[in-house]
Chains A and B, each alone.
Chain A
Amino acid sequence: DAGVIQSPRHEVTEMGQEVTLRCKPISGHDYLFWYRQTMMRGLELLIYFNNNVPIDDSGMPEDRFSAKMPNASFSTLKIQPSEPRDSAVYFCASSLSGVPYEQYFGPGTRLTVT
């Protein structure tokens, strides 16, 4: 298995632009998580899905952030409009029912907003 796939690996954009991050979970996994890592706050859970349904989005910082999972093999995290404080590494992870805490992480997308 290729593991969790994220794209792009790096994104540099200007403040105010829309940013879309993409994730393909491991086939057969029914949980999908979006995390953000910063120096100050460490690894923060933004939102997670179970069977394509959002379960907990309490970590989404504000309305500028949205996430979708249209099918079992694809998810997006969108930031519109982006701001410099959104600069971070965004990780996607997936896991199986029964052991949702054993998460397999993608390599991350490093976002820089100038």
Chain B
Amino acid sequence: DQQVKQNSPSLSVQEGRISILNCDYTNSMFDYFLWYKKYPAEGPTFLISISSIKDKNEDGRFTVFLNKSAKHLSLHIVPSQPGDSAVYFCARNTGNQFYFGTGTSLTVIP
């Protein structure tokens, strides 16, 4: 059972524009939802989190939105920069369980 699902394997965005990465989840409980960024040949890097009691969390250019009725999580990057080109994983911590999505590869075109 995929607890978190990223349906778009890739996304291309022009530099300066908004990047929107999406993630759907199932079986909601009290959770933490997370986004990680991964560059080639490196381990994932924690980016931003949101608890399931919130709707939004912002950190600089990165904002995570949680739509509990739709069971949908999104990451907005504004403005997008070429250095943001990476694979983005959504993840979830529910109690003692940890789940990762399959990733979305973002390419920011200069």
Chain A interfacial positions (CB closer than 8 Å to B): 4, 33, 35, 41-45, 48, 55-56, 91, 93, 100-108
Contacts and interface: CB of A to CB of B under 8 A. Distances in A.
B98 A33 contact: yes
B96 A55 contact: yes
A105 B49 contact: no
A41 B102 contact: yes
A98 to B, nearest CB: 11
Candidate in B32, B34, B43, B46 with the most chain A CB atoms within 10 angstroms: B43
B98 A101 contact: yes
Contacts of A104: 46
A42 B100 contact: yes
B100 A43 contact: yes
- The binding surface of chain A is classed by DSSP as strand
Q: 7 smallest A-B Cβ distances: which pairs?
A: A105-B43, A42-B102, A101-B93, A43-B100, A101-B32, A105-B44, A102-B46
B73 interface: no
Contact of A108 (B32, B43, B91): B43
Contacts of B99: 45
B28 to A, nearest CB: 16
Contacts of B41: 107-108
A3 B100 CA distance: 21
A35 B25 CA distance: 20
Given A43-B44, A105-B36, 13 more contacts: A33-B98, A43-B102, A43-B103, A45-B99, A48-B98, A91-B43, A93-B43, A100-B98, A102-B34, A106-B43, A107-B42, A107-B43, A108-B42
Given A42-B101, A42-B102, A101-B34, A91 B89 contact: no
25 contacts: A35-B100, A42-B102, A42-B103, A43-B89, A43-B102, A43-B103, A44-B100, A45-B99, A45-B100, A48-B98, A55-B96, A91-B44, A93-B43, A93-B44, A101-B32, A101-B34, A101-B91, A101-B93, A101-B98, A102-B34, A103-B44, A104-B46, A105-B36, A105-B44, A105-B45
